């Protein structure tokens, strides 16, 4: 279970970093956009 979650989080993080190096800012911007 933990392994799957970690792998999913890593993939999700790397994908987000590809779009925007600043993951935190991206999340805040996404929340405002949605």
Question: Against a cut of 0.85, is the pTM above it?
Answer: no
Q: What is the pLDDT of residues 18-33, one digit of tens each?
A: 665 555 665 666 667 7
- Token readout for 19 is 């779009």
Structural domain harbouring 23? 1-32
Q: What is the pLDDT of residue 28?
A: 65
Our count of domains for the chain comes to 1
* Measured torsion, CA atoms of residues 21, 18, 10, 13, in degrees rounded to the nearest 10: 50
Rounded Cα gap, residues 34 and 25, in angstroms? 14
Inter-residue contact 26 to 20 (CB < 8 Å): yes
Q: What is the pLDDT of residue 25?
A: 62
Q: How many CA atoms lie within 13 A of 24 on its CB side?
A: 0
């Amino acid at each position: 279970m933990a392994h799957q979650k970690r792998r999913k989080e890593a993939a999700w993080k790397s994908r987000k970093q590809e779009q925007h190096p600043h993951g935190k800012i991206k999340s805040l911007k996404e929340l405002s956009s949605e």
